[in-house]
Structure 1
Amino acid sequence: MVQRLTSYASGGGCACKIPPGELEEAVRGLTGHRSPDLLVGLDDGDDAAVVRIDARTALVATADFFTPVVDDAYDWGRIAAANALSDVYAMGGRPVVAVNLVGWPRDRLPTELMAEVLRGGADVAALAGCHVAGGHSVDDPEPKYGMAVTGL
């Protein structure tokens, strides 16, 4: 039986994001550690943070994940990984290492499909020269996949 991954998601991809106004309200008042080395942070509303390491090097950090946007598990993994990596590129960085972020309805979808999602993500990361070094997974009513990526 073919699994239609998109049928397990209440919103597809970026359509499941929290609207910007609601998110701004939720983070209003959060300050964190202020430092001149934080080049792009919470106040900037960007998809990645940038922290100066030394005079010539900055670290770029991002996390991005979403529900299925296509029904093919491998392609969804590729799309989600490319989306996460693109946040580093958008900040002028080069992805170095990523960790997988997975939410999976274990009682409704086979782990073989999750393996295909992860394989798609790993293949895209490899093409970018980015190491995939583990990750985090949770049992979730909706499938979700993405990556936390660190770049320079």
Structure 2
Amino acid sequence: MPHKIPESVLVVIHTADLEVLLIERADRPGFWQSVTGSLDRIDEPLLETAARELFEETGIHADGETVRLHDWHLSNVYEIYQTWRHRYAPGVTHNTEHVFSVCVPRDIPITLAPREHLQYAWLPLLEAADRCFSSSNAEAILHLPRHFPCNQP
């Protein structure tokens, strides 16, 4: 299996009234997060990565019309948890994460990738931030109000 590219996306899914969707990792029960995922290839556009990961992990299709991804033009560099470093090339210790959000109706159907996630929960903003295991994910959720109006028609 090829090494993961140390560049990824974080997609915060929320409603117009700032309920946030979190998903629980299958490989680490109790670890809650927004949608995340690495580039499949070094030249994959970030928006394409965000749309692909959003669909793969939740079944939500960002069609650009009714469901639009919003690029925050914000990147976080963080140290990769030791438990996941084996997925990267030897010596790679940090990842660059690009932040996106998407505003969806609360009743949108969610279809989890069962190999990746166990369950999902819609939570109020502060509760969602508190539940995230990743500090960059929690911070993005807390900054969500700055990225309004809701990007849904």
- Range class of TM-score, shorter chain: under 0.3
More helix by share: 1
Q: Which has the higher strand share?
A: 2
* TM-score, structure 2 normalization: 0.26
Which of the pair has more CA radius of gyration?
1
Which structure is richer in relative contact order (CA contacts within 8 A, separation 6 or more)?
Answer: 2
